[in-house]
Amino acid sequence: MTKLNLQAEQLEKIRCLAKLGRDQSYQFLGYSLNLETKEIHDLLERNSAPSEWDIQILTILLVHYSLAKVPKSGKLVKFRDLKGGSAYERAFIQRAANPIAQVFGDKPAELAEAARLLNGTSLNYGQISVEIPALEGIPIVYILWVAEEFSASATILFDESASCFLPTEDLSVLGELTTHRLLKAQSILKEKTVK
């Protein structure tokens, strides 16, 4: 049994931000957090517990998320356009966007399939795009241009209000985590087709 180190008021704020009412479970990025017991379960890998690193990252992100005060704006911006984002942009692209281009660049349909495992939806940007509800109020949009004459490339967009929910450094981590979960979802889908 794996629990996150969250306080009751933080759990209640997450419940409010996620608009859960009386629901006891908050699902995001293929995880399920019980808002009563603080237990976290990996829904992608049902037989494994999140690693110690995952627990620390999830705890930090959710603590900071519980401080949010602003609803999303509906305007999408690049990471560099977030407050202080230009300082982290190169590392963010390398860790969050480039792996998407490398893995899905010649098989874009798999990006849409992997996104569905994380409750993502398809959009109409680029050659293929998906929106992942990383945390309620913080959708992350992945836009992929497939490998043709040039190498595949990917862009990641956030709602303009994202930095009102989390500090930009945390948004970088959330983007990397979301990419990691997309790659994990794709790996799970491949395992199912092999069997």
Q: How do residues 88-113 score in pLDDT, each as one tens digit?
A: 899 999 999 999 999 999 899 999 99
Closest C-alpha to 33, from 52, 48, 15: 15
Both 25 and 108 in a single domain? no
| CA dihedral for 62, 91, 138, 183, sign (positive or negative) | negative
Q: Is residue 99 part of a domain?
A: yes
Both 36 and 112 in a single domain? no
Q: Is residue 158 part of a domain?
A: yes
Range of the domain at 45: 8-65
Both 61 and 80 in a single domain? no
Q: How far apart are CA 83 and CA 73, in angstroms?
A: 15
Q: What is the pLDDT of residue 117?
A: 95
Q: Is residue 47 part of a domain?
A: yes
Q: Is residue 1 part of a domain?
A: no
Amino acid identity of residue 32, one-letter, is S
Q: Which of 65, 86, 107 is the last residue of a domain?
A: 65
Sheet holding 153-159, edge to edge: 76-78, 153-159, 138-145, 128-135, 121-123
Both 92 and 181 in a single domain? yes
What are the residue ranges in the chain where pLDDT is below 70? Answer: 71, 194-195
Give the domain CATH number at 121.
Answer: 3.30.310
Q: Is residue 70 part of a domain?
A: no
Q: Is residue 190 part of a domain?
A: yes
Q: Scanning the structure block, which residue is given the tokens 């996104």?
A: 115
Both 34 and 105 in a single domain? no
Both 94 and 187 in a single domain? yes
Entry pTM: 0.84
Both 190 and 131 in a single domain? yes
Both 105 and 189 in a single domain? yes
Q: What is the pLDDT of residue 195?
A: 61
Number of domains comprising the chain: 2
Both 126 and 182 in a single domain? yes
Q: How far apart are CA 37 and CA 49, in angstroms?
A: 16
Q: Is residue 2 part of a domain?
A: no
Both 113 and 188 in a single domain? yes
